[in-house]
Structure 1
């Protein structure tokens, strides 16, 4: 996994044209898989692809 394949909550929110709050809610609901790094979440490209494909 390369460094370009991991995104912050703010990057995901900008890509999906939604708020950071909504992205965190999707993570808590299990709709979007994320890794917790310290106090922050990171989303892999594979997890974003799976979310967009509805898996």
Structure 2
């Protein structure tokens, strides 16, 4: 689904850059990993100059 979203948005807006979810790690690997990643998330988003997050559950 993210591939389709990325393709559609980049076709409409040439100046958009996507940051892969893989750069942020697996939030649900363990409770400790989830806590660590969520604590670091604001800085991770700021460092990568992220203005918008598209979040979903892959079921």
Category of TM-score, reference length = shorter chain: under 0.3
Which structure has the higher relative contact order (CA within 8 Å, separation 6+)?
1
Structure whose CA Rg is larger: 2
Structure with bigger strand share is 1
The alignment's TM-score, normalised by the length of structure 2, stands at 0.25
Task: Calculate the TM-score normalised by the size of structure 1.
Answer: 0.26
